[in-house]
């Protein structure tokens, strides 16, 4: 079956549309999707500028006037908290000549002063001063461009779209998953960024499937059951869910992974069990940090949330991990990991940082190597994509969704 059977294309489709139409369902993406500059630009327009992205946990800007600068492809976003505690996302582009008004990575500031001509903006984006402009100049018309912002369970989501996708369903799912783990009251324990010499899709495809977990991630597979086919772990997953419900917690699971054509965000939430008496993502299988949210005991499980095609969350009863995938060029991207713990937990007293980050650091180091090995192989003009394995069903879902997105103007 061809992709054109599930992607509606215009009769006058361009080269990229024809490439989408030639895709065979059940097969991986062709070489061009990872190395073609025009496809990369379409990715930015139809995926990154259309969908919501988790950019941070709001605890990184805890105080009034705190800010941090984020880079996503060619865009720079200033995440700020104003004097009233409201979170804003501002494009780092002066409304005069386009200079960067924020030149520091993070800090605390009541205003941003453009280094070029000293136009001055409040941390809510309003233009406060523009020296020597004519009397009829209206400052209120020239504030920094503000992006749509939503905060759910402590997670900050932004959208570049002029008319963002409806966030109602997204917020409900975030609250029904991460919210029950107490992420709203969490804090960031550690952050680590991995520059990857590969197209961003290659990194995301690696993340969404666990067919590679057995051979590539022995540390992960010794404690997590996701390296097994779904039908083989249904029993242990059912026992895990029963333990969760016994704690008075019922975590939502769903697999819509909708396209944006009807105004919906791509979402998926699912759960899976840990092995034996393992309770958390530690080297010895034991607890890592104080319990979070509604959890009064360990249920031997993990909750995973896939959000919008670029943001992914993993929740354990005692900590959480956020994965962010950010394009930096047609052949490069960045993968950021953010570890969350109970907001009242004290490093060195309630948790050991190296124990906390051990598993996902080891796994991400391995993933970086795997992805870059693959990227170098796919550069070959002789590369022909092979069939997607049954255990790669999430990747199959992701590829179908991606092709619909870039085919839809």
Mean pLDDT, residues 186-213 taken together: 97
CB atoms within 10 A of CB 158: 23
**109-131 per-position pLDDT tens digit:** 999 999 999 999 999 999 999 99
Give the separation between CA 203 and CA 38, rounded to whole angstroms: 19
Q: Give CA angle at 351 (348, 249), nearest 5°.
A: 155
Question: Which pLDDT band holds residue 398 (cuts at 50, 70, 90)?
Answer: very high
Mean pLDDT, residues 13-24 taken together: 92
Range with top average pLDDT, 126-130, 229-233, 255-259: 126-130
- Beta-carbon contacts of residue 303 (< 8 Å; ≥ 6 apart): 177, 178, 181, 251, 269, 270, 271, 314, 315
Structure tokens at 55: 């950019």
Question: Which pLDDT band holds residue 1 (cuts at 50, 70, 90)?
Answer: very low
| Nearest to 105, CA basis, from 74, 73, 71 | 71
Give the separation between CA 171 and CA 150, rounded to whole angstroms: 8
Q: What proportion of the chain, given as a percentage, has pLDDT over 90?
A: 94
pLDDT > 50? residue 183: yes
Q: What's the pLDDT at 259?
A: 87
**32-49 per-position pLDDT tens digit:** 999 999 999 999 999 999
pTM metric for this prediction: 0.95
Question: Which pLDDT band holds residue 6 (cuts at 50, 70, 90)?
Answer: very low
Domains of the chain: 61-148 (2.102.10.10), 166-407 (3.90.380.10)
Give the separation between CA 409 and CA 404, rounded to whole angstroms: 10
Mean pLDDT, residues 194-205 taken together: 98
- Beta-carbon contacts of residue 170 (< 8 Å; ≥ 6 apart): 52, 150, 152, 157, 265, 267, 307, 308
Mean pLDDT, residues 81-92 taken together: 97
Check if the beta carbon of residue 245 is closer than 8 Å to that of residue 317.
Answer: no
Question: Which pLDDT band holds residue 12 (cuts at 50, 70, 90)?
Answer: low
pLDDT > 50? residue 3: no
Question: Which pLDDT band holds residue 13 (cuts at 50, 70, 90)?
Answer: low
Beta bridge partners of 196: 333
Mean pLDDT, residues 193-219 taken together: 97
Question: Which pLDDT band holds residue 256 (cuts at 50, 70, 90)?
Answer: confident
Question: Which pLDDT band holds residue 2 (cuts at 50, 70, 90)?
Answer: very low
Q: What's the pLDDT at 5?
A: 39
φ/ψ of residue 50, rounded to 5: -110, -30
Mean pLDDT, residues 350-354 taken together: 98
**361-392 per-position pLDDT tens digit:** 999 999 999 999 999 999 999 999 999 999 99
pLDDT > 80? residue 7: no
């Amino acid at each position: 079956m061809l992709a054109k059977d599930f992607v509606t294309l215009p009769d006058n489709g361009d080269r990229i549309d024809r490439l989408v139409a030639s895709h065979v369902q059940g097969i991986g993406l062709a070489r061009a999707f990872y190395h073609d500059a025009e496809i990369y630009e379409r990715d930015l327009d139809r995926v990154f500028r259309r969908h919501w992205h988790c950019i941070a946990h709001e605890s990184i800007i805890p105080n009034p006037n705190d800010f941090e600068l984020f880079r996503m492809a060619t865009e720079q976003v200033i995440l700020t908290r104003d004097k009233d505690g409201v979170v804003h996302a501002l494009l780092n582009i002066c409304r005069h000549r386009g200079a960067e008004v924020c030149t520091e990575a993070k800090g605390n500031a009541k205003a941003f002063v453009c280094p070029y001509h000293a136009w001055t903006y409040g941390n809510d984006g309003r233009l406060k001063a523009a020296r020597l402009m004519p009397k009829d100049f209206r400052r209120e018309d020239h504030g920094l461009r503000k992006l749509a912002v939503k905060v759910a369970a402590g997670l900050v989501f932004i959208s570049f779209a002029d008319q963002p996708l409806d966030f109602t369903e997204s917020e409900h799912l975030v609250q029904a998953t991460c919210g029950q783990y107490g992420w709203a009251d969490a804090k960031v324990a550690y952050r680590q960024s991995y520059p990857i010499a590969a197209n961003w899709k290659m990194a995301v495809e690696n993340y969404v499937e666990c067919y590679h977990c057995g051979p590539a991630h022995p540390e992960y597979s010794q404690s997590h059951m996701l390296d097994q086919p779904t039908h083989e772990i249904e029993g242990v997953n059912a026992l895990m869910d029963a333990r969760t419900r016994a704690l008075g917690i019922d975590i939502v699971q769903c697999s819509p992974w909708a396209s944006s054509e009807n105004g919906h965000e791509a979402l998926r939430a699912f759960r899976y069990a840990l092995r034996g008496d393992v309770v958390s993502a530690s080297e010895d299988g034991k607890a890592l940090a104080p319990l979070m949210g509604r959890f009064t005991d360990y249920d031997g499980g993990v909750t995973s949330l896939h959000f919008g095609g670029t943001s992914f969350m993993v929740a354990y009863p005692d900590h959480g991990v956020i994965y962010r995938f950010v394009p930096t060029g047609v052949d490069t991207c960045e993968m950021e990991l953010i570890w969350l713990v109970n907001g009242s937990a004290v490093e060195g007293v309630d948790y050991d940082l190296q124990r906390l980050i051990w598993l996902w650091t080891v796994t991400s180091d391995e993933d970086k190597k795997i992805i870059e090995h693959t990227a170098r192989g796919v550069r070959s003009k002789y590369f022909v994509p092979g069939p997607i394995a049954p255990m790669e069903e999430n990747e199959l879902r992701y590829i179908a969704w991606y092709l619909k997105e870039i085919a839809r103007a």
